[in-house]
Structure 1
Amino acid sequence: MKFTHLIAGLAIAMAGTASAEERITYKSAKTGSSYYQMGVEIAEAVKAGSDGDLIVTVEESQGSVQNVMEVRARGGDYVFTTPPALIGLAQGGKAMFEGKGDPAFDEIRALFPIPSLTMHFVMSDASGVTDFAGMEGKTILLGKGSFGAREGAKYLGLFGLEGKVEIADVELSNAVSALKNGQIDGFVTAGSYPAPNVIEAAASTGVTVLTLNEEQIAATKRARLVIPAGTYAGQDSDIVTTSLPVAAFTTTKMSDDAAYALTKTFWEQKAAMGETTPWWNGVDEGLMGNVNVTFHPGAQRYYEEAGIALNDAQM
C-alpha cells in the first residue's frame, strides 16, 4: 500500500513538473550558420533565465521563406526567424508567396528583433580605398548566391560602379586569405556585426569598412545601421551602413503567457548573451522600429511594462 502511494505521489509530482515547462520550437537557419548559433544561444539563455520553465528546441532550416511557409502546419509552440519584409509579402501573396497565400499567414505575430544582416564593404589598407568612388578599377569579391552577394552587386549598380570593378571568382570563405595575398582588394559580406571574417581581416591585414552617405542609404531602400567605433581593429569612427532587419515571430496560436515569458526572458538575458557573443550588443530598442509587423499580445504586454513604445503598425 505504501509503495502504491509512493508511486502515485511521484506521478503527481512529475505531472506538476511537466505542466510547469513551456516547450518551444525555434526554427532559424542552416546548421553552422551564425543565425543557427544565435538560436542555440537563445535556447540556452532562455532556459537559464526561466529556471528551466521555458525549454527551447532549435531546428535547422533551409531559409526564411521555408520558416514562414511552415506556419501553415505548426502549432502554438512554433517560433521562427525571418526578415519582417517577408511577413508582408506572405500576407499579401506577393513575390515568392504568389499563389501560395494562406489564412495562417495573417496570424503571424512578432516577438523581438535579433541581429540584423549588416552590409560590410571591406577594403584592404593596401588598396588605399576609403570610399565607394575609390573602388573603381579594383578587384572585389562578392561571393555567390547569398544575400550579401546580391545586395553587393545591387549597390555597385546603384553607385555607378557596375562594369567598373573586377569581380573576383573566389568563394567568400576564402576572402581573408585572398585579401592577405593581394588576390583581391576588398570583399563584401553581410552578417550580424561584428562579423568574424571582418574581425580576422582587420586584425591580420588592416582594412577600411566603407561608410555610406545618407543619399546612398536612401537609394538602397534598406534600413540605416551604425556599427560603433572600435568594433573592429583600427576602426576609429562609426561606420554607417545598411542592414536587413531580422526578428523572431510566432502566431496567435501561442498563448499570451508563453509569448510574454519568452519575450521578457530574451530581453533580460540579452546583456549576458552579449558578454559571450558581441553580436547581441547590436540588438537594442532602436531595432524595434524596423519590425513593422503586429506584435503578439503577450509580447505587447512585456513592452508596455518595460516602457518600450510600439508604433501603430505594431499594435
Structure 2
Amino acid sequence: MNFRLKAAGIAAIAGLAMTASATAETRVTYKSAKTTSSYYQMAVQIAEAMKAGSNGEIIVTVEESQGSVQNVMETRARGGDYVFTTPPVLVSLAQGGKAMFKDKGSPKFDEIRALFPIPSLTMHFVMSEESGVTDFAGMEGKTILLGKGSFGAREGEKYLKLFGLEGKVEIADVELSNAVPALKNGQIDGFVTAGSWPAPNVIEAAASTGVNVISLNDEQIAASKRTSLTIPAGTYAGQESDITTTSLPVVAYTTTAMSDDVAYALTRTYWEQKAKMGADAAWWNGVDAGLMSNITGKLHPGAIRYYKEAGFDLTDAQM
C-alpha cells in the first residue's frame, strides 16, 4: 500500500475514533416506582432533564419498580450505570442487615452512595371544610379514608393509634383513587394521603370542595419519629397559613461502581435543571439545599465534587 494512502487511512480512523469519543453517550438506568406513582412521573422528568441539560450526552432509561426495598436489593446485581430511589432509612437497614434485609446482606450494600434528594413522601390529613375539623381531636366520630396497602395508609393508621383515635373514627371502605368524589358527595369526612407536595388529589379537593389540611404540633411530630416538613401557605386553595406535617425523605442513590465523572455530571445536571422541572411540576419547588440534611449516609465522591464547587454545606457523615 502507498505510504501516503496508508497514513491518510490511519488519520481518518483516528479522526472517527475521536469523533465517536466526543459524542459518546452516558447511559444510566433509573429504578423508580410503579408507573401509577408520582415518583415514576418524577423519574421521567429527571430523564428528560438529564438529556436536555447535557445536550443529549446523558441518556436515562426509567425502569418501573415494585418498591424501595426492591430498588436497594437490586444493587447486589447491578453495575455502575444503576441509579435508584429509596428512603435513606432503608439504606441504613440494608447496610446493617436489619429488618427486611436480615439474612439478606451483601457487601454491595456498603457501596451505596447518595447523589441528590428528591421530593419527600409527605403526609396529608385532609378534612372537608364542612366537617369543621381542624385538628386530630376533631376527627373523633368522623369517617376517614386511609386507602389500602400504601405507605400513607400504614402511616395514617399508625397516627390514629398514636393520637388516641383508634376505634374512635370510622374507616371508609373506599379506594384512595376515589377520595375526592367521596369527599364531595359526603361519603367521607376526610382522607389521608402521602406523596410529594403539592399533592394532585389535595389540589383537586381544595379547589372543588374546600378542605382543611391538619397540622401536627411538635409533640405529635416527635411521637411519629418522622421528619418534620412545612408546606407553605398558599400551596392549596384556601390555605392561609403554613401546614406543619411529617415526611419520609427520598433520595437518589447509586454505588461506588459508578465513575466519579458520571456521578458528578448527574448531580450537577439535576440541580441545574431543577428550576426548569419546577416550572413544569410544582413538587420540585419543595426541593432545596435544606433537604441535603436528610441524606444520613455517604455521598458519592463525584457528587461531593459538585457540592463543594456549588458551595453546599456537607456533614462529616456525608463525606
TM range (shorter): over 0.9
1:15 is aligned with what amino acid? A
| Alignment correspondent of 1:303 | 307
2:123 matches 1:115: no
User: Quick one: which amino acid aligns to residue 292 of structure 1?
Assistant: T
Superposed displacement of residue 14, structure 1: 5.8
1:177 aligns with 2:184: no
Which whole-Å CA distance do the structure 1 matches of 2:147 and 2:246 have between them?
18
Q: Deviations over 1:88-116 (max 9, x none)?
A: 00001111101100000000000000000
Which sits farther off after the overlay, 140-149 or 31-40?
A: 31-40
Between the aligned residues of both structures, percent identity stands at: 77
Once the 2 structures are TM-superposed, how far is the Cα of residue 83 of structure 1 from its aligned partner?
0.4
Aligned counterpart in structure 2 of residue 162 of structure 1, from 166, 184, 190? 166
TM-score, L = length of structure 1: 0.96
Q: Which runs of 5+ in 2 are unaligned?
A: none
Q: Distance in 2 between matches of 1:53 and 1:144?
A: 41
> Aligned match of 2:71 in 67, 70, 87?
67
Q: In the alignment, which residue of structure 1 is the partner of 2:51?
A: 47
Deviation per residue, 1:244-271 (Å, 9 max, x gap): 0000000000011110110011001000
Trace 1:257-296 onto structure 2 (pairs within 5 A): 257-296=261-300
Q: 1:15 maps to which residue?
A: 20
* Separation (CA, whole Å) in 2 of partners of 1:9 and 1:120: 59
In structure 2, what is the Cα distance between the partners aligned to 1:190 and 1:10? 54
In 1, distance between residues paired with 2:169 and 2:17? Answer: 70
Task: Give the SS at the match of 1:295.
Answer: coil
Using structure 2 for the length normalisation, give the TM-score. Answer: 0.95
Answer with 1 or 2: which has the greater Rg. 2
One-letter amino acid of the structure 2 residue matched with residue 224 of structure 1: S
From 224, 227, 230, the equivalent of 1:223 is 227
- CA RMSD of superposed structures (Å): 1.6
How far the C-alpha of 1:29 sits from its partner, in A, is 0.5
C-alpha distance in 2, partners of 1:16/1:296? 25
The number of equivalent residue pairs is: 313
SS state at 1:86 partner = helix
1:234 corresponding residue in structure 2: 238
- Please point out which of 246, 251, 254 is paired with 2:255: 251
Match for 1:80: what amino acid? F
- One-letter amino acid of the structure 1 residue matched with residue 266 of structure 2: L
**Shift in Å, 1:181:** 0.4
The residue identity in structure 1 corresponding to 2:64 is E
Deviations 1:157-216 (A, max 9, x none): 111111110000100000000000000000000000000000000000000000000010
Equivalent position amino acid for 1:256 in 2 = D
Kindly report structure 1 stretches of 4+ aligned residues shifted beyond 3 Å: 4-14
The alpha carbon displacement at 1:240 in A equals: 0.3
Gaps of 5+ in 1: none
Q: State the distance in 2 between where 1:50 and 1:223 align.
A: 33
SS in 2 for 1:38: helix
Query: Is the aligned partner of 1:214 residue 2:226?
Result: no
User: How far 1:11 moved relative to its partner?
Assistant: 4.9
Report the secondary structure of 1:137's partner residue.
coil
Match of 1:202 in 2: 206
Report the counterpart of residue 60 of structure 2 in structure 1: 56
Q: CA deviation at 1:7?
A: 8.7
Amino acid of the structure 1 residue aligned with 2:256: T
Q: For the residues of structure 1 that align with 2:12 and 2:70, how far apart are their CA atoms?
A: 45
Which of 87, 90, 94 is the aligned partner of 2:91?
87
Distance 1:313 1:9, change over 3 A: closer
Is residue 191 of structure 2 the alignment partner of residue 187 of structure 1? yes
